[in-house]
Amino acid sequence: MTQKLHLALCFELPSGNVPEWVQLLPAGKMVGTDSRTFINNDPQQILDNKQRSNLHIPLDIEHATHLKGPIGEAAPAQGWFEQLEIREGQVWGKLNANEDGKALLEKQNYRYISPAFKHDANGHIFAIVSVGLTNQPNLDLLALNHQRNNHDQEITMKLPLAIATALVLNSETATEADAVTAIQTLQSDHKLALNRAESPSLDKFVPTETHQLALNRATEAEKKLTAIADTEIEALVDGAISDGKVAPANKAMYLATCRADGGIEQFKTFIKSAPTIANKTSQHKDKKTGEKADTLSPTELAMCRSGGLSEEEFLATKSQINVGDNA
């Protein structure tokens, strides 16, 4: 059964004090301000539906329950219809007005009431859902979903601009169905995001603790590799010094060279073609002690390099000098 909500019928309130009982629906057929016809031919069904729902019917202002409440605006009740009664086919409600409602009615701030009721496709009313205070009995209030104009053409109600903007919808063309779909999509996306946050893919995310552990291990491994490389470089340079290829005084320079990117290979190429500038087994005597010196002194090695002399040439020249001195 197609159900719709109508908000357009209006009835005048009795003047004077706040009424205890108010007529909500006349008996039989009635015509709305938009020319639609409604029928109250089964008032007992209206009472039975009220009893089954176990809900009180709110008295609000200008149908705020249905027009403001759904978009998050305030829609306070001015009172409640806690009991319904049938009087000669009419539906009456017993009003329990609150302080705000009593003040409005006693001061006659509002003079008319407009019941919001549910009806089927044929206009038969089967439930009253709220009652609105109004001062515009001839105002053609919009139904929540659709209304018909005087030519009996169905018109779709536009979404409020604020809701359409929040849901990134076109306020001129978006319908309630579009809004519901957009909200459901947001809820689905939110749930998916929460699930991903709770159970992230290990292909793209690594727990912080695991990442830190791997980082620590990598740092330790890098330190060990650096220590091994330093040991090998030290041995390589010491070997070149031992072979007389480089002077001990230049050890620090060659260590730095080897530690540079590609430095080890460059140093190995250098010592392959470098001449031997010192020999620790050279058989020459120290001038002062008369003993054979095993190696040239650092100063002598530097002199060999700067003069482009081999160790043998340097020793020969040194021997001649020593002979001249002894003469």
Look at residue 144 in the predicted model and tell me its pLDDT: 29
Residues 226 and 313 in one domain: yes
Cα 251 to Cα 61, 254, 298: the distances in Å are: 96, 5, 11
What's the rounded Cα separation, in Å, for the pair 41 and 28? 5
**Is there a contact between 253 and 241 (Cβ–Cβ < 8 Å)?**
no
Per-residue pLDDT of 210-259, as tens digits, reads 777 778 887 877 787 777 888 888 898 888 888 888 888 888 988 888 88
- Domains of the chain: total: 3
Residues 57 and 124 in one domain: yes
Residues 236 and 226 in one domain: yes
Sort residue 120 into left (φ over 0), alpha (ψ -120 to 50) or beta.
Answer: beta
| Alpha helical stretches, state H, the chain | 43-53, 64-67, 99-106, 161-166, 176-198, 208-242, 251-259, 263-273, 298-307, 311-326
Round to the nearest angstrom and report the end-to-end CA distance of the chain: 137
What's the rounded Cα separation, in Å, for the pair 154 and 97? 36
Look at residue 149 in the predicted model and tell me its pLDDT: 40
Look at residue 122 in the predicted model and tell me its pLDDT: 84
Tell me which residue range forms the domain holding 319. Answer: 210-326
Of 124, 157, 190, the one marking the end of a domain is 157
Look at residue 121 in the predicted model and tell me its pLDDT: 81
Look at residue 200 in the predicted model and tell me its pLDDT: 65
Residues 147 and 9 in one domain: yes
Per-residue pLDDT of 50-91, as tens digits, reads 888 888 899 999 888 888 888 888 889 999 998 999 999 999
Look at residue 154 in the predicted model and tell me its pLDDT: 43
Question: Which H helix or E strand runs over 129?
Answer: strand 125-134
Residues 9 and 111 in one domain: yes
Of 177, 205, 233, the one marking the end of a domain is 205
Residues 15 and 72 in one domain: yes
Residues 108 and 165 in one domain: no
Residues 139 and 58 in one domain: yes
Residues 18 and 73 in one domain: yes
Q: Is 146 helix (H, G, I), strand (E, B) or coil?
A: strand
Tokens 């058989």 correspond to: 283
Residues of the chain whose pLDDT is less than 50? Answer: 1-2, 8, 138-155, 281-284, 291, 294
Residues 81 and 126 in one domain: yes
Residues 75 and 176 in one domain: no
Residues 61 and 147 in one domain: yes
